[in-house]
Structure formats: structure tokens, C-alpha cells
Amino acid sequence: MKTLYLVLALGMIALGVVHMAATGRLFDALTTSALWFFSGGLALALNGTLNLLNRAYGRVAPGVRLACIVANVVMTAFTILSGAVGHASTGQLLVVGGWMAGAAVLSMLPAALRA
């Protein structure tokens, strides 16, 4: 479980980096829309980082664990809502929403945290 949680957290960071890198290819100018798109990648990368911190210190730092759980639940809901509003395909919604939901579930399980 610890390894799966690590993979999900690192994948979240990677997805965030790809999202941020795609901003320049999808937008011709620095606009409010471009900044909002970039901020989505930033949120993903920071949420992944919070999951890494939870994995490493969640057992001894209950505040980190609680912040991580709340962030994961909010990001999962936001991801699903964004996918639905943005007309993501069912596959896209299942992969990204499932990835976020998986991290949310694992962040709640003590067995996924390092001892």
C-alpha cells in the first residue's frame, strides 16, 4: 500500500508538471485563462507533494494528515466536477478521477503511511 501511495503521489506531481508545461502550447498569450490553467497544474503538483509529506510524516503529524485528507477530498470533487463541466471523455474522467480518489482513500489509511 505504501508503494501504491508513493506512485499515486508522484503521478499527481507529474500530471501537474505536464499540465503546467502544456500552458504555453495551449495559450498564445499570458491571459487570465492561461494563468488559471497553469494554476490547475500547480494545485495538482502541490497536492501530490502534500501526499508525499503525509506518507512520510502522517503518523506523527496529525495536522499534516488532516490537511492532506481534506485537500484530497476537495481535489477529487473538483477534478470530477471539472471533467463533467469540461466534457471530458468517460475514460479521462475515470483515469484522472480514479487517480485522485485513490490517493484520497490511501491518505486515510494508516497502512499506507510509513512507520
Q: Give me the residue spans of the domains in the chain.
A: 2-23+33-112
Calculate mean pLDDT across residues 41-61: 97
Q: In angstroms, how far is CA 107 from the centroid of its own chain?
A: 12
Q: For the chain, how far is it from start to end, CA to CA, in angstroms?
A: 12
Q: What is the pLDDT of residues 54-100, one digit of tens each?
A: 999 999 999 999 999 999 999 999 999 999 999 999 999 999 999 99
Considering the entire predicted model, what is its pTM?
A: 0.92
DSSP single-letter state for residue 31:
-
